[in-house]
Amino acid sequence: MELFETIFSRRSYRGMYKDTPVPREDLKKIMEAALAAPSGCNKQTTSVIAVDDPAIMKELTALIADRPGFASAPAGIFILTEKKIAYRDRTFYIHDYSAAIENALLAVQALGYESCWVEGHITDADRIGRKMADILGVPENIELVCYLPIGLAAEEGTHVRKQPFEERAWFNGYRK
């Protein structure tokens, strides 16, 4: 799929998924896309775990049963981050994993699947991300910050409304 077509057609999907399995080669392509993103000072703070084992997916998605759409995906990619110092006292791990996630979401779109950036819900005070990390054997110094459900849409998705270009983009000066 062509880059701009992919970028402009991507959307966040919050509906139910079909139970059709996602071939491992597709999951691998999505993971490779994620890891190809740049990272601050090339610290490569992001790593990823894809889950396609139905029993493990069931255990993980039981933690987000209040979101039946996200919980219904046959596969998922879990984004891990290590809060490494890039230089002096500065870290860029949020930047790093966000760029990786965007690449992953574009790869998902190009391969014909649906996904959504599920982060706020799993990194909140109830620490669902940590519970997921424990199931996956992720050590304490590494945080699981995002779940990307992966699969085929079982229903129609929706598009959010965005502000027009003129409200967010200008040439040679602010609001020019």
CB 53 within 8 A of CB 78: no
Q: Label residue 77 exposed, middle or buried (CB < 10 Å: 0-12, 13-18, 19+).
A: buried
Q: Contact with a second copy (CB under 8 A): which of 102, 131, 152, 153? A: 102
The interface region with a second copy, picked from 15-23, 39-47, 62-70, 150-158 by CB under 8 A, is 39-47
Q: How far is CA 150 from CA 39, 91, 115, in A?
A: 24, 29, 5
Quick check: 118 binds a second copy (CB under 8 A)? no
Nearer to a second copy, 136 or 152 (CB): 136
Neighbours of 170 (CB within 10 A): 11
Quick check: 101 binds a second copy (CB under 8 A)? yes
Q: Contact with a second copy (CB under 8 A): which of 13, 17, 70, 92? A: 92
Amino acid at 154: A
Q: Give the nearest distance from C-beta 68 to a second copy in angstroms.
A: 20
User: What is the distance between the terminal CA atoms of the chain, rounded to a whole angstrom?
Assistant: 34
Q: Give the nearest distance from C-beta 61 to a second copy in angstroms.
A: 14
> What is the C-alpha separation between 114 and 26, in angstroms, rounded?
13
Q: Contact with a second copy (CB under 8 A): which of 13, 22, 26, 51? A: 51
Q: Contact with a second copy (CB under 8 A): which of 53, 58, 62, 68? A: 53
Nearer to a second copy, 44 or 72 (CB): 44
For residue 15, what are its two tokens? 């509906």
Quick check: 128 binds a second copy (CB under 8 A)? no
